[in-house]
């Protein structure tokens, strides 16, 4: 039995890591599109004297806000589903000792959200560096 539960935990970790990796790639792609659409704006900021760090921090902040809201929304939906399942199990009258009161540990939820936000910040680094590498004059000519 212990080997079975170890295998299930390992599978959950693998699926969770793959999901997180797919999310990081998705956020990075979204931020690359944002940088491409705002190339002129970034060029104007740079031409007016914005430092590279200012541009990088702006793009990374957008990435962090995006992942924070998405992660919080996902956490709320997940907890809501757990509560719905708990209610349905309790009201069905079935003898389900094994699945009685499903839930999530608060520290696990906060840790997962923190890891998600940190990965979102890393996902914003590539588009931010790309935005800084564009010369202001080229960005102003971009259409």
Q: What confidence tens digit (pLDDT) does each residue in 72-122 have? A: 998 899 889 988 988 888 787 766 676 677 778 888 888 888 988 998 898
DSSP codes, 51-68:
-HHHHHHHHHHHHHHHHH
- The domain ranges of the chain are 2-141
Share of the chain above pLDDT 70, in %: 95
In whole angstroms, give the CA distance from residue 64 to residue 56.
12
Query: What tokens appear for 105 in the block?
Result: 């540990």
Can you give the pTM of this predicted structure?
Answer: 0.78
Confirm if 38 and 13 have CB atoms less than 8 A apart.
no
Residue 117 in 3-state DSSP? helix
Q: What confidence tens digit (pLDDT) does each residue in 25-55 have? A: 888 899 899 888 888 888 888 888 889 999 9
pLDDT at 103: 78
């Amino acid at each position: 039995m212990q080997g079975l539960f170890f295998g299930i935990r390992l599978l959950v970790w693998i699926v969770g890591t793959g999901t997180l990796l797919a999310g990081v790639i998705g956020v990075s792609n979204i931020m690359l599109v944002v940088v491409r659409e705002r190339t002129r704006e970034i060029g104007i900021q740079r031409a007016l004297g914005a430092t590279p760090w200012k541009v990088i921090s702006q793009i990374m902040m957008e990435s962090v806000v995006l992942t924070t809201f998405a992660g919080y929304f996902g956490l709320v939906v997940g907890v809501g589903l757990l509560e719905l399942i708990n209610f349905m199990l309790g009201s069905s009258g079935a003898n389900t000792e094994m699945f009685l009161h499903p839930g999530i540990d608060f520290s696990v939820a906060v840790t997962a959200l923190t890891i998600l936000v940190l990965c979102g910040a890393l996902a914003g680094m590539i588009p931010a560096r790309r935005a800084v590498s564009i010369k202001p004059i080229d960005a102003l000519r971009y259409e």
